Chain A
């Protein structure tokens, strides 16, 4: 269970203080897929990074609390936080390729993961990746962006974290992979009783994958609504525009 109460996140990088997000409160409970929808540049990625204190402290200030079970992740000892990031909360970032060290082959990531080799192998097969041996020899710059994103998914799922967070999971992969991820998310939350949190602008994927959806605009997140309710009651202008665009291209 994750309980987020972020009063504000401010950015002070360029000298001026700028408020990026304000009054963001939500709770995630086990067995569900949650999605945060929003346009480019609304602060979706900032919000999910703030959850485990991944924002650069010199540039961003986060005020509030984030409770993961009984731990407040914003004040917890760094060793404990590291442990949670390793085993309990895992991210799959949008630009997955840059999350790997270019000087290390994937063997390093496979062998230094806390996961069982058998789990990695079967997840790689699931996500239609080449064999464990083949990928082990490769450096991150030798795989495509989509492949890096899938490998990042494999490494995250293999640990079996209680909370798995995806930033734009469908931006670099094709429909077959999106479809596989969707099925995996359902199994991972429903059968294995974990939590998945997605941030995306892909309405189609959000609609098919999520149990509950919230919309981020004007620095604040709406409350999470059931999937069907979310799409039937669009009271937000921006959201309306996005849904209309989606229908235009469909």
Chain B
């Protein structure tokens, strides 16, 4: 039995940018009337071209920004509690940069577990589980961020989020700096986290072919508007919106200049 975990109702978002001149503030409208829901234990993909509002949407769901208009309703299973880590966690696009290069991985993970409220005597056991989940070599624990590859640092950043046992994991373009083998391994890892730990996953990517391998449901954003949504089979086999059809055909990299400039 699936249940709505998060529901977005007619979300609008405009960003105010502080101009360094201090004289005036510019506002840019980013999202327009976006509504959808995410079921418990679902994997949802959000796709669209760059500048389409994907990352903004991810940050809104994560509660980093508040919508200008509209409402995000959280199921009562997600209860915001003071002094406790949030149950919706987000892995940022540049997540590998967020691992302190000068600290030992062991310390970084211990700290995350401590913040998650794990008792001192349970930290080692929890850490072992975590390392197994994200599938990294335990030998990395004694190394520092500096000596790790981007992919390894990304997994450490992910471990830090999983330490607090989130209900929902949001990922912003997690595949962009990975080679194809790493991409496939990361898809497998996310599927494992979804299936074994029951974590609901929302993944933002411009890469339709990866989302096809990962998600169950997909949302297509174009210039801040949701133009299509459906299951992977529906959207890939029978796309309704011309923009979705454009995105699918652009994957072939065989479009002409005119087709690219005059996209819908």
Contact = CB atoms under 8 A, between A and B. Distances in A.
A29 B255 CA distance: 27
B176 A171 contact: yes
B98 interface: no
Contacts of B255: 176, 179
15 contacts: A40-B182, A128-B260, A168-B177, A173-B206, A176-B263, A177-B50, A178-B253, A179-B253, A180-B257, A183-B256, A241-B181, A245-B180, A245-B183, A249-B183, A249-B210
A176 B260 contact: yes
Given A40-B178, A171-B176, A250-B209, A144 B260 contact: no
Contacts of A172: 50, 176
3 tightest CB-CB pairs across the interface, nearest first? A146-B50, A201-B179, A175-B250
B17 interface: yes
A242 interface: yes
Interface residues on A, range: 35 or more
A41 B253 contact: no
Interface residues of B, number: 38
B180 A242 contact: yes
Interface of A: 39-41, 94, 128, 139, 142, 144-147, 168, 171-180, 182-183, 201-205, 208-209, 241-242, 245-246, 248-250
B150 interface: yes
A245 B253 contact: no
Interface in B24-79: 48-51, 55
Contact of A146 (B51, B184, B209): B51
B251 interface: yes
B4 to A, nearest CB: 30
A171 B183 contact: no
Given A40-B149, A142-B17, A176-B250, A201 B176 contact: no
B260 A249 contact: no
